[in-house]
Structure 1
Amino acid sequence: MTQLRFGIDLGGTKIEIIGLLVQDETSGTNTSEIIYQKRIDTPKGDYTATVLAIRNLVLDAENTLNSSSKYSANLNLPGLVGVGIPGSISSKTGRVKNANSVCLIGEDLQGDLQKVLKRPVKLANDANCFALSEATDGSAQGEDIVFGVIIGTGCGGGIVVNGQILNGINAIGGEWGHNPLPWIADTDIAMDCYCGLQGCNETFLSGSGLQKHFKQRSQQSLTVQEIVALAAKGDKAAQQQMNDYITWLAKGLASVINVIDPDVIVLGGGMSNIESLYTDVPKVWQNWVFSDEVKTKLVSPKYGDASGVRGAAWL
């Protein structure tokens, strides 16, 4: 069986579409090939223009592929459409909530896209899409329980169980970023979070959180990359900051392991590029996991920044 799936990553600054040609999906092999890819700027603060931009991306992709002698014979048009969004769908209203692209909040994005595309459209949180991508044919392929982590500008996550997103009755499954950092030490400073609370995981584990904590410690405003480089050169303040970060991440992930006991945790987002996390965090998370051993694996994403849009296609 050959099937064309369109995945769309709707971000605050860009909208990306891929055409994923899936073969033999029913056999469980999930053989796939990206046969189309395009990226445009997101219309700033304009909901209607955003809906129309997504429609045009899908229709242009179908027209391009349908006119291609290489693929036209294998396509089953119209293609299926999945969209990863920077928020979630309220189970109460069916409309977008918790979106950092505020023009989406309160809108019936799924319904409006289905009207303009004249087909079913599936939506999911972008962190859920990341987790689904890595669980389907990425670093966690074949695993039963997968926790996908996004640690970049913010801190989010998604849970996939037996190949299905665990969305939850409140549509917030995996949203560990706004749980408090557990087992907080006396020397840890709980900063205010934009959600209105204090000491959330996001304020410690996001890239911006790391920068704020380092500035408070050293009075230096540096990027994450600069802090990591300083630590590698032996700078004491940077080394202590990175040691603290490893402890914070280990605690945060240990609390997740204690609840859902995943086979694999996949890190995504800008912070996932720090290679030492994959060795150093598992060395210490045993201190907070309620088990005599920890078999959970901590891995990097197979598809990196492309996991979100691929996961949207797998919806």
Structure 2
Amino acid sequence: MSQTAAFDIGGSKIEFARVSKDGTVSNRATWPTPHTSWGDFVAALQRLVAADGGNPQQIGISIAGTTDSATGIAQAANVPVVNGHHLENEISAALGVPVRVGNDADCFALAEATVGAGKGMPIVFGAILGTGVGGGLVIGGRMVRGAHGVTGEWGHGPTMAEAVAARGIPVIRCGCGQLGCLDSYGSARGLERIHAALTGETLTSQAITEIWHAGDVGATRTVETFVELIAGSLAVIVNTIGPWVIPVGGGLSSDAALLALIDTAVRQRVLGRYDEPLVVPGRTRGASGLIGAAMLADELRA
């Protein structure tokens, strides 16, 4: 049995698994994420480890939140019971094994750089296009952990205000508090927001892409605007860090035609010459949090 176990912690559920060095995932189990107390949260982790029946040598945790690099203190909007806790130290003490914790987007990037679309590549930027816009950076096979635990968050910062206003799209305040973040326009909800502004129709992101594939004129305009907004921001990331590949996760990554459009638009806007696709679907989707968390924990043995 693999010596490394992993948790992928989100707002609704905690997923547990064993992960081998080649990224094979086994012994998967889930438990509802507790929201009432820290004690209940730790107890849920203990139950999942005990039910597995093994004794992992190290545990990795992927969580939808940040862990301050200087203090180790966590902040997670969807898992409020962890706020203010030093996750690595406190969970390690409770479970009796070394623990490493990473942001879920960072863990996605590490999974892709280790066993996914970026395997063996020197610089990998993992992008998330789902309910939000996120990302993670891996250099030399190791997750880059920035100041205050923030790295690769290209979805935030007031960069879109003028661009969306010029297209007749309302400038809205992001959940982070700033106006005009890409997160508000480059996510699935952003696609819906753009479509409503340009056509007056209120549709889900899935419905928009479906009628786009069918040749709908309004949806085509929506998708073209969406791609243009994303491509400009992602091109800046490419020129700044020089990734060999950008694997994409999140719900929108399942649309191959949409990613192909984004890839073409990005490669047209960067300084380097990329003859092969740069923006590609991630290969570890569905298990990226678990795999990335395990790979992060494996660094404890390196």
TM above 0.5: yes
Q: SS at 1:305's partner residue?
A: coil
Q: Does 1:148 find its partner at 2:129?
A: no
Distance 1:210 1:223 in 2: 8
Q: Tell me whether 35-44 or 99-108 shows the greater mean CA deviation.
A: 99-108
Shift in Å at residue 164 of structure 1? 0.3
Letter in 1 for 2:79: S
Shift in Å at residue 287 of structure 1? 4.3
Listed one character per residue, the Cα deviations across residues 58-85 of structure 1 (whole Å, up to 9, x for unaligned) are: 2221x1xx5xxxxxxxxxx433100001
Aligned residue number for residue 167 of structure 2? 187
Aligned residue number for residue 109 of structure 1? 87
Q: SS at 2:262's partner residue?
A: helix
Distance 2:89 2:168 in 1: 45
Aligned residue number for residue 52 of structure 1? 43
Distance 2:284 2:267 in 1: 28
Aligned residue number for residue 78 of structure 1? 56
On the 8 A contact 2:69/2:146 being kept in 1, the answer is no
Q: Does 1:269 find its partner at 2:268?
A: no
Listed one character per residue, the Cα deviations across residues 134-179 of structure 1 (whole Å, up to 9, x for unaligned) are: 1111111011100111111111110000110011123211111103
Kindly report structure 1 stretches of 4+ aligned residues shifted beyond 3 Å. 180-183
Q: SS at 1:107's partner residue?
A: coil
Distance 2:292 2:91 in 1: 18
Letter in 2 for 1:20: V
Aligned residue number for residue 180 of structure 2? 199
Shift in Å at residue 232 of structure 1? 1.9
Aligned residue number for residue 108 of structure 2? 130
On the 8 A contact 1:18/1:310 being kept in 2, the answer is no
On the 8 A contact 1:134/1:307 being kept in 2, the answer is yes
Say if 1:234 and 1:78 are closer, same or farther in 2 by CA, change over 3 A.
closer
Say if 1:32 and 1:133 are closer, same or farther in 2 by CA, change over 3 A.
closer
Aligned length: 292
Aligned residue number for residue 7 of structure 1? 6
Shift in Å at residue 256 of structure 1? 0.6
Q: Does 1:309 find its partner at 2:282?
A: no
Listed one character per residue, the Cα deviations across residues 14-49 of structure 1 (whole Å, up to 9, x for unaligned) are: 110111233xxxxxxxx3432311112112343321
User: Which of 60, 65, 72 is the equivalent residue of 1:94?
Assistant: 72
Letter in 1 for 2:51: D
On the 8 A contact 1:88/1:99 being kept in 2, the answer is no
Say if 1:238 and 1:103 are closer, same or farther in 2 by CA, change over 3 A.
same
On the 8 A contact 2:61/2:294 being kept in 1, the answer is yes
Q: Tell me whether 250-259 or 211-220 shows the greater mean CA deviation.
A: 211-220
Aligned residue number for residue 140 of structure 2? 162
Say if 1:191 and 1:80 are closer, same or farther in 2 by CA, change over 3 A.
same
Aligned residue number for residue 299 of structure 2? none
Aligned residue number for residue 28 of structure 1? none
Distance 1:57 1:146 in 2: 32
Q: SS at 2:24's partner residue?
A: strand
Identity %: 33
CA RMSD across the alignment: 2.0
Listed one character per residue, the Cα deviations across residues 253-305 of structure 1 (whole Å, up to 9, x for unaligned) are: 101101101001010000111211332122222443234x2357211111212
Say if 1:93 and 1:32 are closer, same or farther in 2 by CA, change over 3 A.
closer
Aligned residue number for residue 171 of structure 1? 149
Q: SS at 2:185's partner residue?
A: helix
Q: Does 1:283 find its partner at 2:282?
A: no
Distance 1:253 1:277 in 2: 15
Letter in 2 for 1:268: G
Structure 1 residue runs without a partner (length 5+): 23-30, 67-76
Aligned residue number for residue 232 of structure 2? 251
Shift in Å at residue 241 of structure 1? 0.3
Shift in Å at residue 188 of structure 1? 5.6
Q: SS at 2:3's partner residue?
A: strand
Say if 1:145 and 1:78 are closer, same or farther in 2 by CA, change over 3 A.
same
Shift in Å at residue 245 of structure 1? 1.1
Distance 1:287 1:127 in 2: 26
Distance 1:274 1:215 in 2: 20
Shift in Å at residue 98 of structure 1? 5.0
On the 8 A contact 1:55/1:113 being kept in 2, the answer is no
Listed one character per residue, the Cα deviations across residues 74-121 of structure 1 (whole Å, up to 9, x for unaligned) are: xxx433100001111113432102543233222222222111101211
